[in-house]
Amino acid sequence: MVTISIDGIRTVVPEGTTVLEAARDLGIAIPSLCHNPGLSPYGACRVCIVEVKKGERSTIEASCTLPASDGLVVITNSERVRKNRKVLIELLVSSCPTSKTLQDLAANYGVNRIRFAIKDKNCILCGLCVRYCKEQMQSGGIGFVGRGTSRKVATAFGVTPQECRNCGGCEWICPVCERACTAANLTNGLCGGCQNLMHVETCELCVHCSESVNARGHRVY
Amino acid sequence: MTKSLRSPIQLKNLREQLIRNSQSGKSTISVCGGTGCQGCGCESVYTKFVSEIDRQGIADKVELKLTGCHGLCECGTLVTIHPQKIFYIRVNPQDVPEILTETILKDVVIDRLLYPDPISGQTVLHEYDVPFYKKQRRLIFGSNGLLDPTSIEDYIAIGGYCALSKALSEMKPEQIIEEVKESGLRGRGGGGFPTGKKWESCRNAPTSNGTRYVICNADEGDPGAYMDRSLLEGNPHSVLEGMIIGAYAIGSGSGYVYVRHEYPLAVKNLDIALTQAREYGLLGNNILGSGFDFDVMIARGGGAFVCGESTALMASLEGKIGEPRQKHIHTVIKGLYNKPSNLNNVETWANVPLIINKGAGWYADIGTAGSKGTKIFSLVGKIKNTGLVEVPMGITLREIIYDIGGGMLNGKKFKAVQTGGPSGGCIPESLIDLPVDFDELTRVGSMMGSGGMIVMDESTCMVDMAKYFVDFLIEESCGKCLPCREGLDRMKDILAGITQGNGTDGDIELLQELGEVIHDTSLCALGETAANPVLSTIQYFRDEYEQHIRNRHCPAGVCKALITYTIDPETCTGCGVCVKNCPEKSVSGEKKKPHVINQDTCIKCGLCRENCKFDAVIVV
Ligand SMILES: Cc1cc2nc3c(=O)[nH]c(=O)nc-3n(C[C@H](O)[C@H](O)[C@H](O)COP(=O)(O)O)c2cc1C
Ligand code: SF4
Ligand code: SF4
Ligand code: FES
């Protein structure tokens, strides 16, 4: 067992626990995108960042890949974390504005403008689908190809591979495919529909029923 | 008869015998076969020597060696005559017969092939008197000129494998680690991590079956850097000897050298070195009869810059995609195949024999408080002498640029020096007296990196330069993590906007904010340092950014969208050379009358300006 401190709370967790898991056990909310409890840690989206105090200095680390170690002092919601995270979310939305998951994240974390050029790639390269396919389905039908900005998820030779079991897991787990933002026109890449405008035309108070429609006519899930 | 050496004594005897054989009164001609000289046709000089020696029938009077890089690549092909140490530069095949008849047979120096000192104008006879070499301290690199890299006998004759023999017979592994720790050696691959400490962690890391790996990082992906290549090509045994000593200290039985696949000669020479070392019992089982077993394999890298990063390199060695992973568990604990693995740079390994031979105290006397020994830099850019230079830590930038580098080319003004490779920073003229070591470079916003050094003059636009490095890093980013992949791409967009005259107020602040985020949140050190070129140029040349944004003006006259070429009617003689050179037929005018440029069709290629003899074409 190791003892760590998260936002001033001392907690004892088994060795091998990540800081993200330890924080969530304490009920502390840390957003995450590329993390899934059923898959191996990956550390690509960086929204789960926390600040780790090292004496006078501190560093920013992704909590989903950071193992709890004795004496670790973590702050999950410092000024520095918030500032960094906001820019990360801006970058996420600018590269994939059509994901409702990302639009919600932007709304929740107070991102109200995107200062970067919008280049919709329809994928945030979180690798959930790739890991799901490999680790849960033991298939490995999809993988990453290319480097840098040309990196993308693909199958070999662009055809459905033999290994594919048609489970649909890749779509189900995808933060872009499964929860697409259907807003007709984004302002500066931002929608803000569902989270920011909870007033619904048909009902006085939205109860989040599956039929709810918000002011802009989006379905609220 | 087996060559295998079974004890330190046998090695000593062999060395003495080799020295005796070589003291037979022969002259030795060393032809530089390094990367730079190959570009100057050293191969043909070498073959000419071979045929000429044969033709003149003087094979008994002279020995010929094709050696590794001597450093002064600017003046290739370099030829040194031993024992007089006569140093000839820019040797062509035509000069070869004369060198043999005059210098070798009659001991007459050929003046025209000597190095002319640019300041005094006098010729310099010996290599060590050439100003380029004078301020250098070539501990690691100096032997390159003395030996044929494909001959282990040459290496043994100059004291090679002495350190290994000493380590195995006189020192305990812990003692070696202590010695390396005391020497203050820090990794030359970029991070500057204390080498002894790394070895100790690896030695103490638990491993179930006793397996530990030592790895040599020869990926060297920085554009313009070739010191690791030159060491492997020119003196592979020194690197190998360092690795064997390291393996013994760490308790490792197998090692890898991860070589960039664009380096075929390095691979070839290293391969020869490995075979020879095995023949001599310096590699394999029971090395020098000590009971210690160790062998090395060569792995050829995929060629991506990011594969030089430790976790990516190990993934690549395992046959996986060369992509970094989070390093919370360090590779010395769990690296290659999840076993403790100690990775060091080529140059780091090459320092080890020196420390063992001469002692930690001697080594720690060279350098500054926090950085010991020497560092090899690849000195390029707008200076007179380019090449590989090895200098003691703590030397100032001024000494490197003016004394060794010979000052700026074409009398232009020094503007900045970029150190540390593509993710290093730019250091302005006001800091030119900065002592060069790990900590000082980091303090001013740059870094040691692997030792790239690009000197820039007033004709370099800092915004354009920052954009060039960001472009390079975008190409080389693996694309796994968001801040490096998308962040750098957006950074490039903003920089492109500025250089194209579309910059807006707030761009500089946005670049800084984005740069901090990329630094803070990237997964590996590529992303962590990728914003350095942008942040450091903003820090020291903010004014230049502002000129671009506010006044739509590029002070260096580089950014095409922001400059116009015009002809000064006062100085124009109407000679018409510009008319002939303009590919777009944009210049017109009557003979002997001032000409004018049609701004609508001018493509800003600058050919008119380059060719005008009267400097009448000006950039505004
Ligand atoms: C993107 C990137 C590229 C690197 N490339 C190299 C390289 O080409 N050669 C090298 O020796 N180290 C390189 N490094 C540093 C290595 O990760 C590692 O720190 C080094 O090889 C350790 O050896 P040292 O302690 O002797 O410096 C690179 C690091 C990064 C982040
Ligand atoms: S397709 Fe979806 S799940 Fe797969 S990497 Fe892209 S965003 Fe992630
Ligand atoms: S920082 Fe860049 S190179 Fe490193 S893991 Fe992230 S994307 Fe890849
Ligand atoms: S959730 Fe941690 S980096 Fe993506």
- CATH of B8-127 given 3.30.70.260, 2.60.120.10, 3.40.30.10, 3.40.50.620: 3.40.30.10
CA distance to partner chain A, nearest, from residue B365 (Å): 31
Burial (0-12, 13-18, 19+ Cβ within 10 Å), B422: buried
B275 and B308 in contact (C-beta within 8 Å)? no
Is the peptide bond prior to B28 cis by the omega test (within 30 degrees of 0)? no
Tell me if residue B384 falls in helix, strand or coil: coil
* CA gap B70, B133 in Å, rounded: 10
Q: What ligand is nearest to the CA atom of residue B232? A: 1
Q: Give the largest Cα separation in chain A, rounded.
A: 55
- CATH of A128-173 given 1.10.1050.10, 3.40.50.1000, 3.40.50.12280, 3.30.70.20: 3.30.70.20
Instruction: Quote the percentage of chain A above a pLDDT of 90.
Output: 52
Q: What is the pLDDT of residues B42-88, one digit of tens each?
A: 999 999 999 999 999 888 888 898 998 888 888 888 999 988 889 99
Q: Quick one: pLDDT at residue B197?
A: 97
Is the Cβ atom of A175 under 6 angstroms away from ligand 2? yes
Q: What is the pLDDT of residues B142-172, one digit of tens each?
A: 888 889 999 999 999 999 999 999 999 999 9
- For the CA of A43, the closest atom of ligand 4 is 3
Tell me if residue B137 falls in helix, strand or coil: coil
Tell me if residue B553 falls in helix, strand or coil: coil
Q: What is the pLDDT of residues A136-146, one digit of tens each?
A: 988 888 889 88
Instruction: Quote the percentage of chain B above a pLDDT of 90.
Output: 72
CATH number of B564-619: 3.30.70.20
CA of A82 to the centre of ligand 1 (A): 31
Fold of domain A2-118? Ubiquitin-like (UB roll) (3.10.20)
Q: Where are the domains of chain B?
A: 8-127, 152-364, 374-457, 462-550, 564-619
Q: What is the pLDDT of residues A71-119, one digit of tens each?
A: 999 999 999 999 999 999 999 999 998 888 888 888 888 888 899 999 9
String of b and e for B361-400 (b: at least 16 CB within 10 Å)?
eebeebbbeebbbbbbbbbbbbbbbbbbbbbbbbbbbebb
**Residue A45 CA from chain centroid, whole number:** 7
Contacts of A65 in chain B (CB under 8 A): 326, 328
Q: Where are the domains of chain A?
A: 2-118, 128-173
State yes or no: pLDDT of B236 exceeds 60.
yes
| Structure token pair of residue B142 | 């100096």
DSSP B461: -
Is the Cβ atom of A105 under 6 angstroms away from ligand 4? no
**What average pLDDT does the segment B262-285 reach?**
94
Q: Hey, which bits of B432-477 come out as E strands?
A: 452-457
Is the Cβ atom of A46 under 6 angstroms away from ligand 4? yes
For domain B152-364, which architecture applies?
3-Layer(aba) Sandwich (3.40)
Is the Cβ atom of A92 under 6 angstroms away from ligand 2? no
Mean predicted lDDT score pLDDT of chain B: 92
Instruction: Quote the percentage of chain B above a pLDDT of 70.
Output: 100
Contacts of A60 in chain B (CB under 8 A): 520-521
Q: Quick one: pLDDT at residue A184?
A: 65
Complex ipTM, two decimals?
0.87
State yes or no: pLDDT of A192 exceeds 50.
yes
Q: Which residue is associated with the tokens 């060091």?
A: B344
Residue B375 or residue A138, greater confidence: B375
CA of A102 to the centre of ligand 2 (A): 12
- For the CA of B525, the closest atom of ligand 1 is 31
The answer regarding whether domain B374-457 maps to CATH 3.30.450.20 reads no
**What average pLDDT does the segment A202-214 reach?**
47
CATH number of B462-550: 1.20.1440.230
Q: Which residues contact B506 (CB under 8 A, 6 or more apart)?
A: none
* CA gap B532, B528 in Å, rounded: 9
Q: What ligand is nearest to the CA atom of residue A45? A: 4
The three-state (H, E, C) secondary structure of chain A, written as one string: CEEEEECCEEEEECCCCEHHHHHHHCCCCCCCCCCCCCCCCCCCCCCCEEEEEECCEEEEEECCCCECCCCCEEECCCHHHHHHHHHHHHHHHHHCCCEHHHHHHHHHCCCCCCCCCCCCCCCCCCCHHHHHHHHHCCCCCEEEECCHHHCEEEEHHHCCCCCCCCCCHHHHHCCCCCCECCCCCCECCECCHHHHCCCCCCCCCCCCCCCCECCCCCECC
**What average pLDDT does the segment B266-290 reach?**
95
Residue of B472, B475, B485 to mutate, testing the A interface (most A Cβ within 10 Å of its Cβ):
B485
Same fold, B374-457 and B462-550: no
CA angle B237, B241, B243 (to 5 degrees): 120
Burial (0-12, 13-18, 19+ Cβ within 10 Å), A96: buried
State yes or no: pLDDT of B560 exceeds 70.
yes
CA of B343 to the centre of ligand 1 (A): 9
**What average pLDDT does the segment B189-212 reach?**
94
* CA gap B216, B257 in Å, rounded: 5
State yes or no: pLDDT of B368 exceeds 90.
yes
Sign, CA dihedral B600-B603-B607-B609, equals: positive
Indicate the pLDDT class of residue B22, thresholds 50, 70 and 90: confident
Q: Which of B359, B362, B304, B430 is nearest to B178 (CA)?
A: B359
State yes or no: pLDDT of A208 exceeds 60.
no
State yes or no: pLDDT of B513 exceeds 90.
yes
* CA gap B339, B312 in Å, rounded: 15
